[in-house]
Amino acid sequence: MDSRIKSLVKKLTLEEKVSLCSGSDYWHTQEIERLGIPAVMVCDGPNGLRKQDLEADNPGINNSIKSVCFPAGVSLAATFDTDIVRNVGETLGEECQAENIAALLGPGINIKRSPLCGRNFEYYSEDPFLAGKIAASYINGVQSKGVGTSLKHFCANNQEFRRNSYDSRIDERTLREIYLKGFEIAVKESQPWTVMCAYNMVNGVQMSENRRILTEILRDEWGFEGMTVSDWGAVRDRVKGIAAGLDLEMPGSQGTYDELVISAVNSGELDEADLDRCVERVLSFVFKAADNHNDEAVWNKDKDHVYARDLANECIVLLKNENRVLPLKNDEYVLFVGGFAKKPRFQGGGSSHVNCGTVDSTMLAMQWNSKVRYEEGFSAEDDSFDRSKFDSAVKAAHSVEKVVVFAGLPEIYESEGYDRSHMDLPKVQNDLIDAISAVNPHVIVVLENGSPVTMPWIDKVEAVLETYLCGEGVGVATARTLYGKSNPSGRLPETFPIRLEDNPSYVDYSSDVTKIDYREGIFTGYRYYTKKKMPVLFPFGHGLSYSTFTYGLMKCDTEKMKDNETVEVTVDVINESNIPGKEVVQLYVEPDILNTKIVRATRELKGFTKVFLDAHEKKTVRFVLDKSAFAYYDTDISDWYVEPGDYKIEICKNADEVIAYKTVNVSPKKPKKIVYDENSIYKDLKEDHAAWKVAGPYFEKYINGVLKAQNADEAAKDAFKADLDVFLNDMTLRNVLNMSNGAFTYKEMRDVIDKLNS
């Protein structure tokens, strides 16, 4: 801790200390002029500055400044490229410096538990490993420019319905492996200046008062060094919040909560040392921001708009390309249909909504090509049906070589503050795609949406291009991709299920209740679909290219690994085509499901990298895995543990498609101590060599006793012994006692248990 911070805290009055732990308004920290403590400003906008006018007294009431809108969180995750995401962060950090912003309120990395969450466009992925790695890169980029970030929403904020009051009820293993893991990765790899607590409760405790998660896990276990801040309006009891380790309440309550905190300190209800710790962390944040401010920073919005275009190219995912209908050729007569072609949907609603100066449309980008015609067909703003527009588009589709339908979700369908009620596109869009497909065999669908949609027409169209919400440069980027000026390289950071009912959270999600049970446990997203071998529309990690990539030799530098060691994995990637492109190499780990003692996912993402290959070029991609790639959270020992056994290390095209694999045997440095009791079974004891030495003879006594009592002949004895493992596998020590006809006594059983546990 900076010595000046300690000195300042000693000089502060109790009232001043308390005031520093609340914002002075919606966007600023409190100034203490007599001690030279400045106020600093924070700003919404993980994908672009949403800086409110200085007189703004509430989010969204007054206009925010003109800004540049970059791709939303889901689109950034679709790049599967940590270098690109870091560059985005650096650009946003420079913009913040020019606008004297102390911290950018993002990134949001909550898990996409259901496709219906209204804020899914802002979040990265259904997979915590991908979310954590992308977040760490973004944070490192922003903070490299001397500007803070606010990793949010901590934690288990996975729906907008009743978001201020619902209780996420999650078992400890699921909480650690799925809903905390992304935050853990980001905190350890990037040390965000701030972490923002969520609105909701977790297992009955409001997150703004959750000492176990805000302090014991975040700080004591993970080593977080920064400031915690409430989501705007997330505080319920400020006194409990300070005791739990919530440093800054935003926005300020204009003294309402201050009086309660002062009273609690004076009465002894709140330890002033807890308050002092919060004050120290707030001051550390304030002075870090002030000390790192660059008065000479300049914001070149034109330059950043061009960058937003280039960035959008990296996010677009080619989902289907039958008969290589894409890329389009310049001399083809093509019809563009849909309001999104002229008025793109490029960002989400709510606190991340950016006031853009320039937005590209695809039609504007294509004005050079006289062979491209346009029909509106349907509006981009709502789901209304206009018969004349509908019929005109179908008629025009007869007379062209190919049709590109620009479909998507109108902004009213998904936003912060509410959840979707279904996964469907507006009916008019689905109907028009059907009608056009009936008169033209070469239909391409371009989607502009923040989360998965159903595609009842998928078998009727030749290509689907998923742009998600790609920022203000989406129009030009889409045109470039359609015509092959850009080669798509995005991958899905989430599964597209065939129907909503297939999603593992379907039974519990958005029920009109205050307690939400996460019954699916660790089986979110692809973990569920691969475990059940359930067909999906498009799997996690899926994405096509105009290039043709193949894989060559895969190697692991060891076949046996202790959990304090690492394994290096290499694989050759070859571009077999004449088209330069980028391939996303995905590495998953699959445990030996048949021999594991716990329930595990079929496979889990543990590495990814994007590599550029020129025409006919070959490159070797390298991964290094440590024990975390093989570990699960063991609630018996309240820690991560590597179960001994064989693991497949798999190179995959996506979560469903394994290209190559190698098997590595992993053993823990220190085996987990097993506690044996009356319910310990034959199979487990026999697999534990030391335990079998103790218990084996008693099972033998039981077996011999059974055979003797039955007067079995030699042939029957031999047959019985041959099937022993099947017969005895689930037999417990108490079963042996009960069924041994006195061959195994109660005293002997207690002696065996004592010896096993000694």
Q: How far apart are CA 753 and CA 174, in angstroms?
A: 32
C-alpha dihedral over 691, 692, 696, 697, to 10 degrees?
-70
Catalytic residue, from 231, 247, 274, 563: name it. 231
Q: How far apart are CA 537 and CA 500, in angstroms?
A: 11
Q: What angle do CA 479, 482, 488 make, to 5 degrees?
A: 105
Between the alpha carbon of residue 477 and those of residues 79, 83, 485, the distances in Å are 14, 19, 9
Type of residue found at 418: Y
Chain centroid, CA 590 distance in Å: 20
Task: Please say whether the beta carbons of 654 and 540 come within 8 A.
Answer: yes
Establish whether 646 is a catalytic residue: no
- Three-class secondary structure of residue 69 per DSSP: coil
Q: How far apart are CA 356 and CA 301, in angstroms?
A: 10
Would you say the C-alpha torsion 157, 161, 163, 168 has a positive or negative sign? negative
Does residue 591 have a cis peptide bond before it, meaning omega lies within 30 degrees of 0? Answer: no
Q: How far apart are CA 101 and CA 543, in angstroms?
A: 37
Q: Enumerate residues 6+ apart whose C-beta is below 8 A from 259.
A: none
Q: How far apart are CA 435 and CA 461, in angstroms?
A: 11
Alpha helices in 49-158 (DSSP H): 73-78, 82-98, 128-143
Q: What is the DSSP letter of 264?
A: H
Task: Please say whether the beta carbons of 226 and 192 come within 8 A.
Answer: yes
Q: How far apart are CA 586 and CA 595, in angstroms?
A: 25
φ and ψ of 413, to 5 deg: -80, -25
Q: Which residues participate in catalysis according to the annotation?
A: 231
